[in-house]
Structure 1
Amino acid sequence: MMKSRWIMGVVLSSCLLLASCDDNKAPAETQNIAGALNISEPTAAMDSPSNEALITYEVTRNYAMEKADLLTKTYDTNSVQYVLIDHGRIVVSGQSGKNDEQGQKPLTKDTMYGIGSTSKMFTTVAVMQLVEQGKIELDTPVVQYIPEFTMMDERYKQITPRMLLNHSSGLKGSSTKNAVLFEDNDTYAHDTLLGQLAGQSLKADPGAYSVYCNDGFTLAEILVERVSGMNFTSYIHRYITEPLGMVNTKTPLDSPDTAKMAGLYYPRYAGQLPGEMLNVIGSGGIYSTAEDLARFSQVFTGKEEEVLSVKSAAAMAQDEYKTSLWPDDADNSLEYGLGWDSVNLYPFSEYGMKALTKGGDTPLYHASLVVLPEQDMAAAVVTSGGSSTHDQLLANGILLQALKEKGTISELKPEKSYGAPVKADMPESMLQYSGIYGATGTTINIDITEGGVMSITSEQPPNDSAGIYRYSADGMFHSSDGNVMISFVTEENGRTYLWLRRYASFPGLGQMAISMYNAEKLQPQDLPAETIEAWNKRDGRKYYVLDEKYTSIAYLTLEAVTIDLNVSKQLPGYVLDKRITGPNSAVSELQIPGSKGRDLLGLTFFTQDGVEYFNLGGFILVNEDAVNPFSFAKKSIVTIPPDGYAQWYTISDKDGGKIVKVSMSQNASFAVFNAKGTCIYFSVIGGQDQVELPAGGSIVFAGDAGTKFEISTQ
């Protein structure tokens, strides 16, 4: 979310990206990274504004420069901006990396980056401002403010603004159609949200538990607009960015100057990309700088009460995640407040400090803001490329170095581990936890032997090597290096969860902690023969997206605009995490708090003119059987039909190697993919007048209804 499968990945949640505490926050559960064991107590020293004038922050500045360079050299980051603010003063600020291939566009402190889901903090502050004015009550149903908000599920009438901000609304997830575009600020995703929700049901009772939800914040954006009478962009400028002097904070509706944006690159596509625009602004569409985010952080340390009161800032930092369906307390980087990803961020909890964090990932930009309200300090990191996880770790490190340099802490604590497994006899009752478990867009196979060895493998290709864990004397399963500890919990709702606790170390950057219900046990079901036959025909078939806009970033990779349907071989009655409910339908019924139960959208198939399609979260996809080889003659024409659907074709061996040139209007694009699914040409990016066709590849033409593509070959 983010990132080659971002568009369809958000829908299926194979990855993510608007969300800062997405699945990107946690590396693959089967991967183990070594960590240290010893823990020491710090000696706290009080710092005061009078002492701070004597501090040079030289050690912290050097640390930040070194680690920023590490991001660009080791962690797939193109460029990075970082800032430390202490008691209202920006004391460390810098940048590293490339901004363009020619070196003609220097990085500066004013270079803007997409901040992704860090935008949610602006939405939260806007709602809280209206609460302070008595225009919104956090616990009054949203329908009282947005009368046209309706859903198929009557429980929607119970959804409150608080539930939107703490991810407990029960909304399905992310409406991302036409949301992430190249230099195109089309407001489709915002404008159609209420219509999308009107055709949906809820996945849980409102308020039952918190699970990451982008649509909740787009709905909160609309709430701000309805109550204030202003569009969201105008509102945040008047009441947030202008009072705080955030002159380099924009939204797509400001039509920001792309020359002032950080350069974008994609690993499998040569050259620099056009500017990215994420058009669900309240959920993830704001652009800013590290220094502007540092100014924004002052709202949460009590320095900017004209923007938000100390009382409201404190209310945002309360434990909103603690419902009955949440794992017991453990070191963690995911514990929701209002807007915040975590209000008790590790490793600052090790020092007895309250730390708040919010990060964000778009397909190409990433960001993290970490605030220590009691220390009146914050760090912000924004990057092109990389991930919000790496950004958060750099922000953590900058803050810890500054705290040590100031004498607030005497030393940095070593990394932690749960310890290697201690041999013990496993009770026979543990065998009941073997089976197939589901999380958003995936299923995993858990096998536990009588000897206390547990293996975890993915059901979906590529089937990576098994993660191996051994039963230990503490009643848990441990990885051999001690960084992962797994147990099983059956909650009051009768569902059984795999509880993953993990310390993940990133060489040179630090360690993060994860504690979450990582998957839910699924039960097999019997299906009528007719239903089984219908789904078996789809097993292993590829489906192509037809209605993503021609400027969509999704066309950068074939995997982002196609889905492979794989019926479970080990769990009768399921396709991915979705329970098959009939010959043409399947639904996901997971109830997992945190991030592993997000974006639960069903599949609905239909046939038109003998061609099979299906609807997934508003996207329309077509069966590969309808995608035929294109006959490339000297002159050919492709026309977008009245329904506006993109036209997909395969490239035969006989056409491989041909050189094609395509003429079309501005409201159109085409993309060419090789046999491996790599995009070798996307006309929105351009860079060449003609393209060599790859044998075994594919080509797609997208545009407004009636658009004509004139194709000539050499």
Structure 2
Amino acid sequence: MLRNRWINVAMLLLCLLLLLTACNDKPPVELTLKAAQEKATLLTNTYDTNSVQYALIDHGRITVSGQAGKNDEEGQRPLTKDTMYGIGSTSKMFTTVAVMQLVEQGNIGLDTPVVQYVPEFTMKDERYNQITPRMLLNHSSGLQGSSYTNAFLFNDKDTYAYDTLLEQLAGETLKADPGAYSVYCNDGFSLAQIVVERVSGMDFTSYIRRYITEPLGMVNTKTPLDSPDEAKMAGLYYPTYTGQLPNETVNVIGTGGIYSTAEDLVRFSQVFTGEKEEVLSGKSAEAAAQDEYKTPLWPDDADNSIGYGLGWDSVDLYPFGEYGMKALTKGGDTVLYHTSLVVLPEQDMAAAVVSSGGSSTYDQLLASEILLQALKENGTLTEFKPEKSYGVRVKADMPESMLQYAGIYGATGTTMNIKISTGGVMSITSEQPSANPNRMLKYSADGMFHSSDGKEMISFVTEENGRTYEWIRQYASVPGLGQVAISMYNAEKLKPRDLPAQTREVWMQRDGKKYYLLNEKYTSLGYLMFPPTQLNLSNQLPGYVLDKRITGPNTAVSELQIPGSNGRDLSNLTFFTQDGVEYLNHGGFVLVNEDNLKPLNYAKKSTVTIPPSGYARWYTISDKDEGKMLKVSVSSNGSFAVYDDMGTCLYFSVIGGKDQTTLPAGGTIVFAGDAGTKFEVSTQ
């Protein structure tokens, strides 16, 4: 009996020892918790963020979790760890995992042409036959960019944008040889979603639920097709509109349509740290983290926040390289939601930040700060590295050969005039409004142009393709949140083009005109947030509409070949005439010239009917109607919106919940709905 008693005592001591050991294994988090909450509060108080949620996972254990910001106006939707946010392009990592799972099973070959899995995929460019799943995941497919007609809707899970992708691609050409270089491309991941569905025989929502979210215990990760409870979604707001908005749905799920929480995202991160090999092998996770971006067309190595893997925005995120650590990141931005996931695979740690308002860059900085604080608190780091700069410029005479780089440079949707003086002063003037419209840098002994604060350097590179690029390197600091490093080809040098007189005359008639959106669904965010498109011929570059080269009386094409992000989302301009009215097709969006807008007779009861084309009906508001109360009968398959003379939306019936509003002088009104929808309109 005595022997048994000693055995029991020994067992008790052993249990206590194991318990103490387990307690000592818990990483310290008090300082990290405090820092995370302080910086999250800074984000909501200073950086236009409505609410933010964050989480940290360390060796499979969520050690930090919290949120900051405002609830909805009635207080009925409190912020909790289970509040869901749209994660935007972070959804691409779910697509990447799905593809890699099917690769492991031998059902997909990363370097097998996509047409073998999707035979109906075709384009007006024979090179499409060379596109592989790897190219879709590393952004090197050569596809133009983003097919987003009816992709962003309020509380509407219509899958039109995804359903019509193959039809849209069938009418396009490629902007580069497949595999030539990596430039961010949303359509590549929508096409990868189609590949997953064709090969697996399942819809994408069902696939990720069965093979990703359920095995990982991600109970708060949904897609629009799951019909998530709106009461569990983070509240959305828009600066020029009073009150809370309906939930935003992004109906290209594999590209940007998933909802999740910070805690669920760090659970997901275990796939990439080797914790969940039953979901994805460590070998596949490691393959996704390779530096896929290193094609011949890419800037030389430098501190950076961009460097594509398979799905990842960066596989060597600054500043973690300063500490000898590999860091992976994927960010996401919808119109209203933002997110960032940062993973340290060798440390078996990750942080996720999701927000309503703000930006994915702010979220990435917060996630990085949480990780760095945790690494210091657990003793992995002894101190934080100071923020970096390029130092003081060293004065030197500029070689005359540098003058050849002066000229007009273009990036997606913009052009800039770079002037270089013989004295070594470079000035950059954008043709578009900018927070910093004029910049000045000076030549330095290292052969580059430096900003006065030492945070930016610019040089020029002529690549093997014969094109000349402005290469910008920059350390951008966000007070209280940290520093982002940027190294990218910012713009490409363009050459002026002479136009035939007749072509020039046709385009001059369009110059400066506003064009109004016609083919977006009545629930589209576009009616709230996207102002009319103003078509401006380039003042600096004859023969161009901004970055697009005019190729005929009714066509202009985007020909940029810029890796990274500034050559993304290229789209051509094509004018066509229907029933005597000229329309503009811009990347699948159909628009009409302001000259076709006429005033509606608001003085008496009128009827507006959506035509068989389904195009929205736009009208002007005259000065004599200013201040009148507009009353509209709105059916369930239609909406209307009212704008002031600057194009700012004052009222959108999808949000407003009322059927009347006051008319502003010089404004416009749009009626949108299914073909045949009728609106009864009157004023008081």
Query: Shorter-chain TM-score: what band?
Result: over 0.9
2:423 is paired with a residue of what secondary structure? coil
Q: Is the 8 A contact 1:176 1:189 kept in 2?
A: yes
Which residue does 1:105 correspond to in 2?
77
Q: d(CA) in 2 for partners of 1:669 and 1:416?
A: 51
Question: 1:665 Cα shift?
Answer: 1.0
Amino acid at match of 2:344: L
Amino acid at match of 2:32: T
Q: Is the 8 A contact 1:186 1:279 kept in 2?
A: yes
- Structure 2 residue 548 is matched with structure 1 residue 578: yes
Query: Aligned to 1:391, which of 363, 369, 375?
Result: 363
Question: 1:661 Cα shift?
Answer: 1.0
Which residue does 1:71 correspond to in 2?
43
Which residue does 1:642 correspond to in 2?
612
Q: Is the 8 A contact 1:419 1:478 kept in 2?
A: no
1:685 is paired with a residue of what secondary structure? helix
- Structure 2 residue 370 is matched with structure 1 residue 404: no
Which residue does 1:695 correspond to in 2?
665
Amino acid at match of 2:372: L
Measured against aligned partners, the alpha-carbon deviations of 1:99-150 in whole angstroms (never above 9, x if no partner) come to 2012232111000000000000000000000000000000000000000000
Alignment of 1:228-377 (within 5 A): 228-377=200-349
Amino acid at match of 1:616: H
Amino acid at match of 1:370: V
- Structure 2 residue 569 is matched with structure 1 residue 599: yes
Measured against aligned partners, the alpha-carbon deviations of 1:559-591 in whole angstroms (never above 9, x if no partner) come to 1xx211111112111111001101110101000
Q: Is the 8 A contact 1:664 1:707 kept in 2?
A: no
Alignment of 1:627-666 (within 5 A): 627-666=597-636
Amino acid at match of 2:208: I
Q: d(CA) in 1 for partners of 2:610 and 2:436?
A: 40
- Structure 2 residue 446 is matched with structure 1 residue 474: yes
Query: Aligned to 2:463, which of 486, 491, 502?
Result: 491
2:623 is paired with a residue of what secondary structure? coil
Query: Aligned to 2:560, which of 564, 587, 590?
Result: 590
Query: Aligned to 1:507, which of 458, 462, 479?
Result: 479
Amino acid at match of 1:423: K
Question: 1:54 Cα shift?
Answer: 4.7
Q: d(CA) in 2 for partners of 1:110 and 1:460?
A: 41
Question: 1:423 Cα shift?
Answer: 1.6
Amino acid at match of 2:563: P
Question: 1:414 Cα shift?
Answer: 0.4
Q: Is the 8 A contact 1:550 1:669 kept in 2?
A: yes
Amino acid at match of 1:299: V
Q: Is the 8 A contact 1:52 1:406 kept in 2?
A: no
2:490 is paired with a residue of what secondary structure? strand
Which residue does 2:539 correspond to in 1?
569
Which residue does 2:522 correspond to in 1?
550
Measured against aligned partners, the alpha-carbon deviations of 1:69-98 in whole angstroms (never above 9, x if no partner) come to 001100001111000000000000001111
Identity of aligned residues (%): 78
Which residue does 1:536 correspond to in 2?
508
- Structure 2 residue 139 is matched with structure 1 residue 149: no
Q: Name the stretch that deviates more: 511-520 or 619-628.
A: 619-628
Question: 1:527 Cα shift?
Answer: 1.1
Amino acid at match of 2:110: L
Amino acid at match of 1:300: F
1:654 is paired with a residue of what secondary structure? helix
Aligned residues: 664
Measured against aligned partners, the alpha-carbon deviations of 1:8-40 in whole angstroms (never above 9, x if no partner) come to xxxxxxxxxxxxxxxxxxxxxxxxxxxxxxxxx
Question: 1:626 Cα shift?
Answer: 0.2
Which residue does 2:86 correspond to in 1?
114
Question: 1:462 Cα shift?
Answer: 6.2
Q: Is the 8 A contact 1:499 1:516 kept in 2?
A: yes
Q: Is the 8 A contact 1:417 1:483 kept in 2?
A: yes
Q: d(CA) in 2 for partners of 1:627 and 1:319?
A: 51
Question: 1:51 Cα shift?
Answer: 8.5
Q: d(CA) in 2 for partners of 1:201 and 1:360?
A: 27
- Structure 2 residue 140 is matched with structure 1 residue 171: no
Q: 1:463 to 1:354 in 2, by over 3 A?
A: closer
Q: d(CA) in 1 for partners of 2:557 and 2:301?
A: 31
Question: 1:270 Cα shift?
Answer: 0.3
Question: 1:453 Cα shift?
Answer: 0.8
Q: 1:285 to 1:558 in 2, by over 3 A?
A: closer
Q: Which 5+ residue runs of structure 2 have no aligned equivalent?
A: 1-20
TM-score by length of 2: 0.96
Q: Is the 8 A contact 1:182 1:275 kept in 2?
A: yes
Q: Name the stretch that deviates more: 414-423 or 491-500.
A: 414-423
Q: d(CA) in 1 for partners of 2:108 and 2:378?
A: 42
Q: Comparing both chains, which one has the higher relative contact order based on Cα–Cα distances under 8 Å and sequence gaps of 6 or more? A: 1
1:245 is paired with a residue of what secondary structure? coil
Question: 1:461 Cα shift?
Answer: 4.2
Q: d(CA) in 2 for partners of 1:557 and 1:210?
A: 30
Question: 1:664 Cα shift?
Answer: 2.0
Which residue does 1:686 correspond to in 2?
656
Query: Aligned to 2:580, which of 610, 626, 636?
Result: 610
Question: 1:628 Cα shift?
Answer: 1.5
2:486 is paired with a residue of what secondary structure? strand
Q: Name the stretch that deviates more: 100-109 or 434-443.
A: 100-109
Q: Is the 8 A contact 2:653 2:659 kept in 1?
A: no
Q: Name the stretch that deviates more: 308-317 or 611-620.
A: 611-620
Q: Is the 8 A contact 1:457 1:463 kept in 2?
A: no
Measured against aligned partners, the alpha-carbon deviations of 1:591-618 in whole angstroms (never above 9, x if no partner) come to 0000000111111111223322111111
Q: d(CA) in 1 for partners of 2:594 and 2:70?
A: 40
Query: Aligned to 1:432, which of 401, 404, 422?
Result: 404
Q: d(CA) in 2 for partners of 1:156 and 1:597?
A: 19
Question: 1:50 Cα shift?
Answer: 6.5
Which residue does 1:382 correspond to in 2?
354
Which residue does 1:82 correspond to in 2?
54
1:632 is paired with a residue of what secondary structure? coil
Q: d(CA) in 2 for partners of 1:557 and 1:279?
A: 18
Which residue does 1:707 correspond to in 2?
677
Measured against aligned partners, the alpha-carbon deviations of 1:324-382 in whole angstroms (never above 9, x if no partner) come to 00000000000000000000000001001000000100000000000000000000000
Alignment of 1:155-234 (within 5 A): 155-234=127-206
Measured against aligned partners, the alpha-carbon deviations of 1:241-300 in whole angstroms (never above 9, x if no partner) come to 000000000000001110000000001100000011000000000000000001000000
Question: 1:697 Cα shift?
Answer: 0.9
Amino acid at match of 1:644: G
Q: d(CA) in 2 for partners of 1:273 and 1:569?
A: 39
Query: Aligned to 2:643, which of 656, 669, 673?
Result: 673
Measured against aligned partners, the alpha-carbon deviations of 1:667-702 in whole angstroms (never above 9, x if no partner) come to 000000111221110000024342000001111000
Q: d(CA) in 2 for partners of 1:363 and 1:618?
A: 19
1:296 is paired with a residue of what secondary structure? helix
Measured against aligned partners, the alpha-carbon deviations of 1:402-461 in whole angstroms (never above 9, x if no partner) come to 000011010000000012322211111111111110000111111111111111111134
Q: d(CA) in 2 for partners of 1:404 and 1:431?
A: 48
Q: Which 5+ residue runs of structure 1 have no aligned equivalent?
A: 1-48
